[in-house]
Every structure is written in C-alpha cells, then in structure tokens.
C-alpha cells in the first residue's frame, strides 16, 4: 500500500474521539508518526481523562504504527508549547499540525452566559492559535537557519461558522474566526514553507448527535455510512502529505464522499455615487443591491436561489 505520509511527523489535537480520532489513525496508516493530543473532556469541556488518547495510541500500535499520547490543554499557551516540543523531542521534528480540539455549550443568544461564550471561544479559537503560534515559530527558526520546511497546518472550521446555525453564536463565531485565521496565516507562513488549510466537516459525533439533519439511521454493515467521522480523514491525510504543497488558504467542506470548496466573502453588486451619501437616499440603493445579490448559503453550503417567475 502506498503511504502518502510516510516519514511525516504529525500532531492531532482533540484526537481521542470522533473526527480527530479518525485523523490520527489515518495519518498513522499513511506512515506518519503521530502525537495523539486529547485531555479527555466531556462535550462541554468539563472533566478530563487520559483514557481516550491512550486507546487511540494502542489502536495505532496494533497495526504497527507509531504514536504517543499527550494530554496538554491546547487553549493554555504554555501547554500548547509543550505539545509542539513533545513532537520535536520524541520524533525529531514536526511536519503537520492538525487543530481539531473543540467543545460545545449551545445556547440561544438571549440566554447565553459569559462563561459559555468564553469557554467555547477559548478552546476553539485560542486552542487553534496557541499550537499554531508555537509551530510557526519552530518552522520560522528552521527557515532562518537555512533549513527547508514542507509543513502543513490543517484547522477545523464548521458549517455553523461559515454558513450559520441557530443556537451556536459562540461556536459559530469561533469557527468563522478559524476560517479567517486560516486565510491570513496562509499568507503569512508561506514564506517559511508552510501551507495552512481548513475543513468544515460533516459527521455524526458527540458534538453533532443532537442535530436533526445528522440523525439518519445507521446503515447496515455492508453499506457506506456517509455520516461516519472517519470519512473526513482521507482529506486530512492528503493535505498533510507532500502532494498538497500547492494548496493553501482554502476551506474545504467534507462529508461522506462529498468534497467541495467553501468560497469566502467577496464583493458582490456595487454602486458608487462618487460623493458622500445622504442617509435618506440610501433606502432604495441598499434594497436594489440586496435584490441583485444571492442570499446567504444555508447550513448545507448551498445557496437557496429563489424560484424564477415569469
């Protein structure tokens, strides 16, 4: 079997369960040496356990792969630094960072507490920044020393962030921030031989089990399970490989066997008066612009075009 990540050294955060577990196992199957990072918390971020990360490591060892468990909190800046050093000290370097750790504390905006807001933003957004900051520093130093990097950062956004989902202002804002973070970091880190991309995955996990659109019956043993979290991992493995060197600054929608590019904000219909507007004259102007622009995409990522009438 061709192993497209052979010799690569990778970190996967939030790798004890669900989508992250699938990433870690597939990267190992593809020849990477993997640091399996997970604090073993519940979906809401409470508690901790070393069990999930060690179970993934044991599974990887079971098919002859190389992996170690790591329990650092990626939202803690110093802890994130220790995580990056764990890969470097154990395996001799770092080629791939997959930022996947996350929690949920869903609540309608009018009922959301500051603790629920801060906890989610901290784990998702700060938990993406902190490991990336330490990894970027490592790759920058290598570049300045004359070493050549062929490195990858793969972040985890969400359709809740880039398209929007009711009851998830905290989670969605963090995930939209990760998409923007990805685009900007790609522009900054290219000079050091680092690509930065992101995923908006769709799968049945602990974090999505309450979503109506993901409650389809589990298929039989011989049927393709389009909602299995393991379906996201092949794209991560390819993005982690040397084959993906020309791809950076992109956000991918991926679910089952379906793969698409998420197209970001861009300027649509425009009008230029060439002078300062008076507020009273803007009503018909704005209404006309909105009528010419497509509506926002739905959670599927598809634009709900209105039906044409004769």
pLDDT tens per residue, range 28-81 = 999 999 999 999 866 655 665 678 999 999 999 999 999 999 999 999 999 999
Residues identified as active-site: 158, 171, 175
What pLDDT, on the 0 to 100 scale, is given for residue 51? 87
Extents of the domains making up the chain: 9-261
Asked if 193 and 151 touch (Cβ cutoff 8 Å), the reply is: yes
* CA–CA–CA angle 2, 255, 165 (5° rounding): 150
What pLDDT, on the 0 to 100 scale, is given for residue 204? 79
**Six-digit token string for 276:** 């300062």
What pLDDT, on the 0 to 100 scale, is given for residue 252? 97
Closest-CA residue to 34 (of 87, 80, 112): 87
Task: Tell me which architecture the domain covering 9-261 has in CATH.
Answer: 3-Layer(aba) Sandwich (3.40)
What pLDDT, on the 0 to 100 scale, is given for residue 116? 97
Predicted model pTM? 0.91
Question: Per-block average pLDDT, block size 10, for the chain (310 residues)?
Answer: 94 96 98 96 63 96 98 97 98 98 94 97 98 98 98 97 94 97 98 98 65 57 85 97 98 95 94 97 97 92 76
What pLDDT, on the 0 to 100 scale, is given for residue 44? 54
Report the 10 Å Cβ neighbour count for 67. Answer: 27
Residues 6+ apart with CB under 8 A from 225: 218, 219, 231
């Amino acid at each position: 079997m061709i192993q497209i990540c052979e010799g690569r050294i990778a970190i996967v955060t939030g790798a004890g369960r669900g989508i992250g577990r699938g990433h870690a196992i597939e990267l190992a199957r593809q020849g990477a040496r993997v640091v399996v990072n997970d604090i073993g918390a519940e979906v809401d971020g409470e508690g901790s356990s070393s069990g999930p990360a060690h179970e993934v490591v044991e599974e990887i060892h079971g098919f002859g792969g190389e992996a170690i468990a790591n329990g650092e909190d990626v939202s803690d800046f110093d802890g994130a630094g220790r995580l990056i050093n764990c890969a470097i000290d154990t395996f001799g370097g770092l080629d791939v960072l997959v930022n996947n750790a996350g929690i949920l504390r869903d609540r309608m905006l009018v009922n959301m507490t500051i603790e629920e807001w801060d906890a989610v933003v901290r784990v998702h957004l700060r938990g993406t920044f902190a490991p990336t900051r330490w990894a970027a520093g490592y790759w920058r130093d290598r570049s300045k020393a004359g070493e050549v990097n062929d490195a990858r950062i793969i972040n985890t956004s969400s359709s809740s962030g880039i398209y929007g989902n009711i009851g998830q202002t905290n989670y969605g804002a963090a995930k939209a921030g990760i998409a923007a973070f990805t685009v900007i970091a790609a522009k900054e880190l290219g000079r050091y031989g680092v690509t930065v991309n992101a995923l908006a995955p769709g799968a049945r996990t602990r974090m999505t089990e309450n979503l109506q659109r993901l409650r389809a019956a589990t298929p039989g043993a011989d049927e393709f399970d389009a909602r299995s979290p393991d379906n996201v991992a092949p794209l991560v493995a390819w993005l982690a490989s040397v084959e993906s060197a020309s791809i950076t600054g992109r956000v991918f929608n991926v679910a089952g066997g379906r793969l698409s590019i998420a197209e970001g904000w861009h300027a649509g219909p425009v009008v230029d008066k060439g002078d300062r507007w008076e507020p009273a004259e803007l009503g018909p102007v704005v209404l006309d612009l909105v009528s010419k622009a497509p509506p926002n995409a739905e959670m599927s990522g598809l634009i709900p075009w209105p039906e044409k009438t004769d």
